[in-house]
Structure 1
Amino acid sequence: MKKIISLLLIFTFGLSSCEKDDICDANTPTTPRLVISFFENKAPAVPKNVINLKVVGEGSPNGTGIIFNKTATDSTQYITSANTISIPLRTDKDSTTYSFIYDAYNSNPAAVNTDVITFYYTRQNVYVSRACGFKTIFALQPSSTDPPTIPFLQTDPAGDGFWMQRLILQTYNIDSENEAHLKIYF
């Protein structure tokens, strides 16, 4: 009888050392990405798919870009033709710069168009749990305060004209991926 009670006590203490938060659940929200939706410029309520869009972060090795198609094994993994994308913001600095290359793999180089956007923000680390650690949330901020500006800067480094006609910020706070943060009309 003493052996059974001892075994039960050891078993009970062994189970009590495991806690629910020792494993980070895959459904736990982590650092959110910036969600961008694309729309028809002439009919603003109509979502529009981009054509072979490649998004490359500043300093990206070999210009590889963001992986949109995880099942592809060639350069098509960096291409999307969707009307909504999610891109990460840097957690180690207060700005992130991306090149948005429209029709990136077109055989006619004149059809390829690149716009560059730099996003400016502040960062806040938020504790999630012992297993998951911290996540970073972002608050988009103007790049300067004199005069006040919008929290992103769009440039056309190739001089090929802007393919993105209008950019409309939906929310300054990037704390989830439940809705679009930025709408782009083209």
Structure 2
Amino acid sequence: MKKLLFIVLFAITFSSCEKDDICSDETTPRLVIEFYQIGDQTVKQNVPNLKVIADGETIPVVLNESATGDSRFLSNSSSIKIPLNLEDTTTKYKFIINSTSTNPLLINEDFLTFNYTLENVYVSRACGYKTIMELNTTDGIIKTDTPLADGFWMQAINIENNSITTENEIHVKIYL
């Protein structure tokens, strides 16, 4: 009888578990940006020593998760992923090209302000909610220069996909 009671209690305990106790779904996505040549807009362009810093911050955004040390904050690729502020509907970043150059004339900073709406979406019991963003149609991205007026290194910006629901698609293309 004790064995039967133990088996019943054991079965009840483990039958209440669900398969989704581990979150394998994507959480809140980051904004995916790809860089292209302005002359031939089908050719991707690597950005040398790109550093991205949120407005009011001093520590750059992690652009290379697999790197170590300071190289985590630099990108020499044609694609980056950056987070948007989930506590506001605006995020401003400073994009610095040639950020490690010893020649100050080669370092160039442009600012991008992203304007969007937020929506919390239920994913699953294990994952909870994720936030998706929708870039505004009229003023989704505003480009400004530094007070030094060093000229824009970003020649043109195109919003490819206003809905930021996944990191598997390009949201913004920037032409150099």
Shared fold (TM-score greater than 0.5)?
Answer: yes
Q: Show structure 2 runs of 5+ residues with no match.
A: none
Aligned residue for 1:110, secondary structure, equals: coil
Percentage identity across paired residues of the two chains: 43
> What SS class does the counterpart of residue 95 from structure 2 fall into?
strand
The gaps in structure 1 that reach 5 residues or longer are: 143-148
- 1:14 corresponding residue in structure 2: 13
Shift of 1:97: 0.3
State the Cα distance separating 1:183 from its structure 2 match: 0.4
Aligned-pair CA distance for 1:23: 2.6
> Which residues of 2 match residues 80-95 of structure 1 at below 5 A?
80-95=75-90
Local SS of the residue matching 2:11: helix
C-alpha deviations, 1:111-140, integer Å up to 9, x for none? 000000000000000011222111000111
Partner of 1:156: 145
CA distance in 2, matches of 1:13, 1:118: 54
Q: How is 1:18-97 mapped onto 2 (pairs within 5 angstroms)?
A: 18-25=17-24, 28-60=25-57, 63-97=58-92
Match of 1:125 in 2: 120
2: CA distance, partners of 1:64 / 1:169: 27
Q: Which moves more between the two structures, 127-136 or 161-170? A: 127-136
**Residue in 1 that maps onto 2:162:** 172
In 1, are the aligned partners of 2:64 and 2:74 still within 8 Å (CA)?
A: yes
Summarize deviations over 1:66-94 as a string: whole Å, max 9, x none. Answer: 11234544322210001011111111000
CA distance in 2, matches of 1:43, 1:71: 30
What TM-score does the superposition give when structure 1 sets the normalisation length?
Answer: 0.89
Give RMSD over aligned pairs: 1.4
Q: Secondary structure of 1:168's match? A: strand
Residues in 2 aligned to 1:126 and 1:30: alpha-carbon distance in whole angstroms: 10
Partner SS state of residue 20, structure 2: helix
